[in-house]
Structure 1
């Protein structure tokens, strides 16, 4: 049973429920990852065209998009093959031609009957010093022109999708947007000068001028705030569910860690000690750990990771450190092998290069617990890779792995604790936004 309110069902219906959208357009919209009316609702214009009616094209800086009311003077058929068909029109001050290539004569006679008034809108330019407009975007009666927007939104497109088809589909989606009780406090809306949700959705698709499509336009700011708010609420719910899942305590004894610290020619930095303490406390807790370790290149993240893996070994289990490339995995091996020897724990690697008996031997040692710490690449994801008692999974350069891959690694053991690492500089505000479901050590 869906928890979605019934009033929102039309926005989550199939795209072909909108008028004028059939299987072909559904496939075209799919190229833009637009699959439901909801997606159209938040596909916002990235530009606009000024369609305000002007009395004349005279004196304007050309080329430019111009809308003006004209009288149709005469039709000038092409005199030779390949030459354009012209229709001479006049506005309040000057006469100029409308130019059509490969013209449909019957259609032109109906759209531009001689002696009638029409509102035309399109790109006017100078050709041999003469103003002309080729293939106007709009040819309307004065009555029809009342429906022409003063400022027409321009949407992103893809191959096979025309601007008019996109605008029509979005207009249909906007009509489905329900009037909802606003979830933002009235005081916040008033202080920020933001519209209510339904008004904001309507306004972003009906801009009055270029300033209404800028990121700081009130309607856009309001919808952007909603997006951040919903993201944070989602992360908060995810964190709440994660913390409610029962984990397994992996308490440190200090036995192996002490041997490594004694062998070091230096003391860990204060930041390293703090990060190790936070991770060790998480591992000892009964709730499952899901933590991000962030630090610049050379700040000692790999050492912190290794000391955390030793906590898992001290608790009687195993640990795995996942690297995105074989080169990085072997660099980790070179750096950590002396520390593993000092701690007297078994450290091994598993990459796509391991084949035959060598691979089989490593898999057997992993299953029976002889390998206590494994350094690996994507090869660790394979189904035949089994641990005797995996307690901690660490993922280096986490941004280079998908969420599904990280989750798959966490399934290699019973209630596995997860630590992800990154050296990519992330301002704290953005890190809280994007990794809000993770606890964080810096």
Structure 2
């Protein structure tokens, strides 16, 4: 029997197309799949993400047990727990997927300081950060040239899930945590959030490829149609491989437009790899004058701005732990460019509720919308009323999420302040800012 090796799972909670796991299984010794629950991270994580994580871990354990292995769970500092398990099993090597955040960099540094051999692998993106770079630079700052290089790059092969694996004898795997416990975490647990785990994620992928993808190019901004993949949380937790999703979709009808969105996801990852402070500092400082307006911020968070399309998006967030990407842009632009409230305030609220929230995409998109990120048009406007009329022309999305306006037919739902001779709709606030025309 060969020497055991460790595989540290992070944002890659799956068995299909897992390069770190595949590399570990090439040896002759037992493979120890490990996930470390860091108390400090769990305490400040969104309750939706905690619950999703717990479900994904349970599903991963079930998949490993079906193949003769198990998922080892430990709680504490990652480097310390990895070192302790290496000493217990006799392992001298740990494999993991390479991350892009500041936390991922500190985690890898801590692992290397233990003296173990640390092997990092791709797996969190389609094209690894740094695999394509501009002449004279370490990352692309604008999407379009990145997209051209990304399209022209070669993709690795999608890897199969393992058939069998085994743990060292006598190893205690540990108990699954109860991460739906409301005593920890931030935000609220959304009643209609998506369930986590590789098995339900792969079912969602099959359904999307077979039933939804073909219409994506024409309907992805159709707010009432909800015609997006619904896979964002699965990709964020790595219950699906972005490479496998892209490979499966690219040659199907509607696939090219959807794969472009996966390239946007990779784009933000390569930006974050070069600028890990994207969640705290302006990527491109604009010397903006931000306002402190607690009342407006609270109205925005609660979906009580009096702008129906904004309120619908904010209420969808609270109900589902998710928001359509179009309304993410509309609501973020309203906060930062109409109310002039700092993007960090809005991003913190999203981070407290989004099941799919992560550093690279969440904060990269917030900065893009606020004009401090990678948008080449930092003063780009998102007039909420024009956006509503274009992407929710009959008011169906608004009525779905703002029940106070359920009695307004068609596009009247977008201009409730004009009802009752300008007195508005009883029980629904008047706009806190100019709604535009």
> If you compute each CA radius of gyration, which structure gives the higher value, 1 or 2?
1
Q: Which is richer in helix?
A: 2
Q: TM-score range by the shorter chain?
A: under 0.3
Q: TM-score, length-normalised on structure 1?
A: 0.19
Which structure features the higher share of strand residues? 1
Higher RCO structure (Cα 8 Å, ≥6 apart): 2
